[in-house]
């Protein structure tokens, strides 16, 4: 079961991610009705019957199309991620440290399609 504090943390995340969305975006409905939506989300997750909606197809002002989860679904996906992340082992090949920063030795091995290293220059003694 997803703990309520993870739902709250995911809510803060989705609000921050969508803070500049247009007035008619569903994030504003979720924010306005948060207390009742929170209870519904927690209950449906507890009952094991949360249903994800199909992705929304949005045409941006520049004409490009993007596909978005509705805000409730993005929140649930984030909460699930927060819940399971501590349970998953970290690969020895993971190029990041525990705080989400790139390890210096990983940067040394990154190269662009043109063969130019994007990492810090390596000084040899």
DSSP 95-123: -B-TTSPBPHHHHHT-B-TTS-B-SPPPP
pLDDT tens readout for residues 55-114 = 999 898 899 999 999 999 999 999 999 999 888 877 777 766 666 677 776 666 665 555
Domain residues of the chain, as ranges? 4-87, 91-125
pLDDT in the model for residue 99: 66
Q: Which two tokens mark 49?
A: 């019957």
96 touches 102 (CB < 8 A): yes
45 touches 10 (CB < 8 A): no
User: Among residues 64, 70, 62, which one has the least CA distance to residue 37?
Assistant: 70
Q: Which two tokens mark 81?
A: 């991620």
- Identify any residues that bridge with 59 across adjacent strands, giving them in sequence order: 65
pLDDT in the model for residue 63: 93
74 touches 14 (CB < 8 A): yes
């Amino acid at each position: 079961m997803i703990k309520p504090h993870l739902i709250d943390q995911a809510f803060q995340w989705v609000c921050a991610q969508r803070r500049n969305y247009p007035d008619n975006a569903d994030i504003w409905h979720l924010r306005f009705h948060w207390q009742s939506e929170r209870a519904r989300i927690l209950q449906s997750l507890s009952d094991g019957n949360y249903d994800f909606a199909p992705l929304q197809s949005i045409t941006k002002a520049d004409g490009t199309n993007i596909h978005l989860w509705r805000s409730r679904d993005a929140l649930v996906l984030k909460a699930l991620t927060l819940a399971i992340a501590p349970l998953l082992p970290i690969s020895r090949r993971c190029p990041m440290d525990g705080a989400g920063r790139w390890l210096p030795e990983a940067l040394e091995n990154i190269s662009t399609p043109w063969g130019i290293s994007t990492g810090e220059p390596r000084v040899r003694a």
